[in-house]
A and B are shown apart, each in its own frame.
Chain A
Amino acid sequence: MAEIRLERATKTFGQVHAVRELDLTIADGEFFVLLGPTGAGKTTTLRLVAGLEKLDGGRVHLGGRDVSALAPAARDVAFVFQQYALYPHYTVFDNLAFPLRSPLRRRSPQEVTRRVEEVAKLLRIESKLKNKATKLSGGEMQRVGIGRALVREPNCFLMDEPLSSLDAKLREDLRVELKHIQRDLGATILYVTHDQIEALTMADRIGVLEEGRLLQVGTPRDVYTRPASVSVARRLGSPAINLLRMDAVPGIAAPSRARNIGIRPEDVQLNGRGIEAEVEQVEHLGAESVVVLRAGEERMHALVSGGTSVQPGTAVRAELSREAMLFFDEAGQRVDA
């Protein structure tokens, strides 16, 4: 496995700046998740590393080697596509064997069989090896897609929303499996998603991307608790972070430049203290409930555990945890107290 380093990587499509002077280093063996909305430049970044797109500026280094000018085949990376991209005219076995039969990395037939069977076992698709790639369920197809990446030992794995086409249950299973495999192999993975749960659960570090720029890079905990800006804060957490004007919460000692308060729904307590609010709606999620509150002009969400007895239309008091409060300035940047 190898380190991935992007140096002022830039890519434009006509008038659109997909990726702008991106600097990013992903350590050897790190699971790095690029998180961002559609059109943020996540996939383009991935394709720049793979060599499927040509850089308009900057460099890409893999394992300390400048690969900016190399063809995809010569970069020795593995790519998992969102839509699987299995070769429909091949069996599962041949799909998995395809990278090992390439002119560039040809292995002996015995070795191909051995590797394919190993990987199939790891991903629990041994029984499907003789199937046509098209005769599989979505989950199995993506296992084959991941298997095709695992079958050779590449510099790094690039994954483009590999789980987003699967249903929720499968996604959960594969998420756990993928993280497990990554730990076992010590693989360097650059993983692209717009799903915050995937980012938070799997990543060693998260990079939040928007309009081709990295807004923040850090551990999931870091990015969640100390977001650099309002956009980052909004990107993580469900329900989304509450943003209140300063005067909604009187008597708070805040930095002078602060214009908004950010408070996560789980840090809003309905314990009979704090500011007055009216309950607009209650959503029961099973283990927890989301209470939608209105305090003056402001609307906010509170996440309370278990079934709550509060009724819509009643008045409650909401206490906002002072320690958990985040302050943002005019431009949306976080300011520390």
Chain B
Amino acid sequence: MSGTSDAHSIVEPGPTSRRVASVVVIVYALVSMVPLAWIVMTGFKSPDTAIAYPPEVVFEPTLEGYVNLFTDRTRQTPEYMADLPPPETWYDELVRSRNMVITGPSRFFGRYKNSLIIGFGSTFLAVFLGTLAAYAFSRFRVPLKDDLLFFILSTRMFPPIAVAVPIYLMYRALGLSDSHFGMIILYTAVNLSLSVWLLKGFVDEIPREYEEAAMIDGYTRLQAFWKVVLPQMSAGIAATAIFCLIFAWNEYAFALLLTSGNAQTAPPFIPIIIGEGGLDWPAVAAGTTLFMLPVVIFTVILRRHLLRGITFGAVRR
């Protein structure tokens, strides 16, 4: 080994590889950030600058997109506008500068609420059921365990939309179309296989001795699960919850197919926000920006758990 020029350890990357790796990571980060930055920027543009060519990177920011996103407006004659009392709020003023008046709130808020209910509801259910199933698969002698696990995984072997037609017919027959409950159980069903498999891996890593010790110390299995196993699974649960939420939150095809009014989520709604003479791009971008926020916040909150990993320290292997 003494003859080599590099004096670093063979497992640690050398300075050159480190530099190359950083450049690659930075380039990748930039490439993924540019579209996001563009969306956030467009949200603060006026409808004209949003479609200007060549695109404007430096522009005067306006909240028009956000106002348009949250309101319904109608165009009025100049005489009507002149007769109005002075605007009461900054957004009234902004809308009137376009010769329009606000007629009421838009449907965006309701769609956003639907997304929150369905996204977090199905995530909770998928993780809750997945945790129990994963524990059972990991700890109990379940008959046909391997077949069952394969069967569960097989629901992931085709794109969910492949079963769109049967689901559509089924939901229509059962009266589940365009209902929150229907969408929650649909997303739960799709996410459950991922959740069971991911979580089973995490439960497998937790030594049985923990529960056995607790059961000898005077606890029932359920109490031992709650007090000892669940805290150990927190990292796995966090990771699984993020994956489930991202799927349920972003899902477009089923939402478009199965929901229209009552339970419509934000993804099918945002792209069809119409302004004057076509799509209202700043409003679409504003909606998209707000739509990204919950997943970003959720991920940032749970990131600590993701990075912390699982401590096996108290049991030597």
Contact = CB atoms under 8 A, between A and B. Distances in A.
Interface of A: 50-52, 71-73, 75, 77-79, 81, 83-89, 98-99, 102-105, 133-135, 138, 141, 148, 165
B316 A73 contact: no
Given A85-B212, A85-B314, A87-B314, A99 B231 contact: no
A72 B213 CA distance: 9
Nearest to A160: B209
A79 B216 contact: yes
B119 to A, nearest CB: 29
Nearest to B206: A88
Contact of A71 (B207, B215, B314): B215
The contact size tier of chain B is: 20 to 34
Given A73-B219, A83-B207, A98-B217, A88 B232 contact: yes
B314 A84 contact: yes
B213 A81 contact: yes
B214 interface: yes
29 contacts: A50-B216, A71-B220, A72-B216, A73-B215, A73-B218, A73-B219, A78-B217, A81-B213, A83-B207, A83-B209, A83-B315, A84-B315, A85-B210, A85-B212, A85-B315, A87-B213, A87-B228, A87-B314, A88-B312, A88-B313, A89-B231, A98-B217, A99-B217, A99-B218, A133-B314, A134-B311, A135-B313, A141-B314, A148-B217
Interface in B228-278: 228, 231-232
Given A73-B220, A87-B228, A102-B219, A134 B314 contact: yes
Chain A interface, DSSP helix/strand/loop, else mixed: loop
Interface in B3-51: none
A78 B214 CA distance: 10
Nearest to A47: B212
A14 to B, nearest CB: 11
Contacts of B317: 83
A98 B313 contact: no
B313 A79 contact: no
B218 A103 contact: yes
A52 B208 CA distance: 11
